[in-house]
Amino acid sequence: MQTLDIISINIWQMLISLANLVILFLIVKKFLYNPVKKMLEKRQQTIDTKYSEAEQAKNKALSDKQSYEEKLLSAKQEADSLIQSAVDIARSRENTILLDAKQKADGILRQAQQNAELETKKAEKAIKDEIVKVSTLIAGKMLEREVNEKDHKQIIDSFIEEIGEENEGN
Amino acid sequence: MANTNRRFKFVDIFYIVMMIVPLVVGVIIQVLTKPLAEGITLTGARIFYTVPMPIQDLVITEAQINSALVIVTILFFCLYMTHGIGEHIKLKRQHFAELIVEKVDGLVSENMGEYFNGYSPFIIAILALSACSSLVSLLGMFPPTSDLNVVGGWAILVFILITYYKMKCGPLYYLKGFTEPIPLLAPINFISEFATPVSMSFRHYGNILSGTVISTLIAAGLSGLSAMIFKFLPGFLSQIPFLQVGLPAVLSIYFDVFSGCLQAFIFAMLTMMNISGGFPIDEYEKRKLKKLAINK
């Protein structure tokens, strides 16, 4: 079998080898490089979308948290104001009730005083009458004579009045 | 589900088998056609068929056939690598495929710059073709890279690319480049221009061929040496070259595996350097901007 020389130049062989390299370049590009590159790009896209989604979710959670905190704060304030207003109402009502009670108590006291005065006066009058009757009886007995009851009464009354005035003067 | 799984496995096995078949075919051709060597014989590729062509006859040699077989192997390797890869890593081979693409991408963008990002597949092709062509010698096949014509073809393609990028700013700018730094150096610059592909192809071809030459010489020498030393053994025992066990295997690791991969890497690096180094990117950008300004 024939062999080439160790150093031999053949243009056609060179062209074939050049074409071989070009063919292999196309093969590698089509079957290895492009699929892997496409896959890597796709993965990168997926990662990017995942990241942006996570970012969005985080932002949403943060804003939600903020709004909830605001709501919580406003609810607290509302509750505080409610309690405050309730306390105010209760306090005003308490005042009115106290005032009413005081007024009523005053009224009752005054009536009682008036009643007591009236009773005193009645008792004074009764005692006075009694004293007049008794003194008249005593005087009649002492004088043993019939005196005009009417005159006596006048005298004794004036007498008692004087005593009363002296007593009051004291 | 089970059906698709089975089909997936079947396709996988088909790809693996198709990766191995060309190499087996190459070994069988080698075994069937190679005559037994007598003593030290160093020849180029054996010619299987001659096609009459103008200028020079086209010869179909071992180198051509082995190159074609290597290309088929790489094609099915690529198909196997990208079979069933997806966004989510389910297969171990996906790591490897991503590693290849990302490493070469990094290498290209580091050595050539952003403008040449599309060169990654080309660099992968050079690396794969060169390394695999050298490594088929492990199977006893004729390594295509030890044929000057094969490597020369690649170097011519690289030379065309270099010149194309040098011409991007117009032929006049390209010709003016020869007169730098002084017009007196123009002939030397002209020679150095054509020295690039020659040096690239000869470097690669010479390294692989020299490995073969040294391996052959050492094998022959060891054979002779063992015949001398074990002469006293009776009968056919004296004919067995005991010394050939061991040392050639160690040398093969250097000359076939290491040298083959290293030369592939060097060839790829030189390709990147020369293509990106010859392209006057600043001038090109300037002209592009000027053109845009005129058009506006």
CB atoms within 10 A of CB A9: 12
What H or E segment, with its residue span, contains residue B240?
none
User: In this structure, which amino acid lies at residue A108?
Assistant: I
Of B125, B150, B153, the CB nearest to A28: B125
Q: How far apart are CA B12 and CA B25, in angstroms?
A: 20
Provide the CA B263 distance to its chain's centre, in angstroms: 8
For chain B, the structural domain boundaries read 2-295
A24 touches chain B (CB under 8 A): yes
CB A4 within 8 A of CB B50: no
Q: How far apart are CA A71 and CA A87, in angstroms?
A: 24
Q: How far apart are CA B75 and CA A26, in angstroms?
A: 10
Q: Strands, E, within chain B: which ranges? A: 47-51, 58-61
- Alpha carbons within 13 A on the beta-carbon side of B278: 23
Q: How far apart are CA B296 and CA B285, in angstroms?
A: 17
- Is the residue at A124 inside a domain? yes
Determine whether the interchain pair A22/B157 forms a contact, defined as Cβ–Cβ distance below 8 Å: yes
CB < 8 Å & 24+ apart, contacts of B46-53: B46/A1, B46/A2, B46/A3, B46/A4, B46/B142, B47/A1, B47/A2, B47/A3, B47/A4, B53/A12
* Predicted confidence (pLDDT) per residue in A147-162, tens digit: 667 777 787 788 778 7
Determine whether the interchain pair B148/A21 forms a contact, defined as Cβ–Cβ distance below 8 Å: no
Give ipTM to 2 decimals.
0.87
Q: How far apart are CA B190 and CA B177, in angstroms?
A: 10
Query: Dihedral through CA B62, CA B67, CA B68, CA B73, nearest 10?
Result: 130
* Predicted confidence (pLDDT) per residue in B162-202, tens digit: 999 888 888 888 888 888 778 888 888 889 888 999 999 99
* pLDDT, average across residues A74-90: 95
* Predicted confidence (pLDDT) per residue in B114-134, tens digit: 888 888 999 999 999 999 999
- Tens place of pLDDT for every residue, chain B, 296 residues? 567 888 888 898 999 999 999 999 999 988 888 777 666 677 777 888 888 878 888 888 888 899 999 999 999 999 998 888 877 777 888 888 889 899 999 999 988 888 888 889 999 999 999 999 999 888 888 888 888 888 999 999 999 999 998 888 888 888 888 887 788 888 888 898 889 999 999 999 889 888 888 888 888 888 888 877 877 777 777 677 777 777 888 888 888 889 989 999 999 999 999 988 888 888 888 888 888 888 87
CB B195 within 8 A of CB B150: no
Average pLDDT along chain A: 87
Helices and strands of chain B, counted as H and E runs: 10, 2
- Alpha carbons within 13 A on the beta-carbon side of B170: 9
Of A6, A17, A39, the CB nearest to B85: A39
What local confidence, expressed as pLDDT, does residue A167 receive?
66
CB B149 within 8 A of CB B161: no
- Residue A13 with chain B: CB contacts under 8 Å: 58-59, 61, 63-64, 147, 149-150, 153
- Is the residue at A2 inside a domain? no
Structural domain count of chain A:
1
Determine whether the interchain pair A4/B61 forms a contact, defined as Cβ–Cβ distance below 8 Å: yes
What local confidence, expressed as pLDDT, does residue B280 receive?
80
A116 touches chain B (CB under 8 A): no
Answer yes or no: is pLDDT of A170 > 60. no
CB B171 within 8 A of CB A35: no
- Is the residue at A6 inside a domain? no
What H or E segment, with its residue span, contains residue B140?
none
- Look at the pTM and tell me if it is higher than 0.90: no
The string over A154-168, giving b where at least 16 C-beta atoms fall within 10 Å of a residue's C-beta and e elsewhere, is eebeeeeeeeeeeee
Tell me the pLDDT band of A73, cut-offs 50, 70 and 90. very high
Domain containing A63 equals 13-169
- Is the residue at A4 inside a domain? no
Q: Where are the alpha helices (DSSP H) in B178-296?
A: 186-229, 247-252, 259-278, 281-295
Of B44, B53, B126, the CB nearest to A8: B44
Tell me the pLDDT band of A1, cut-offs 50, 70 and 90. low
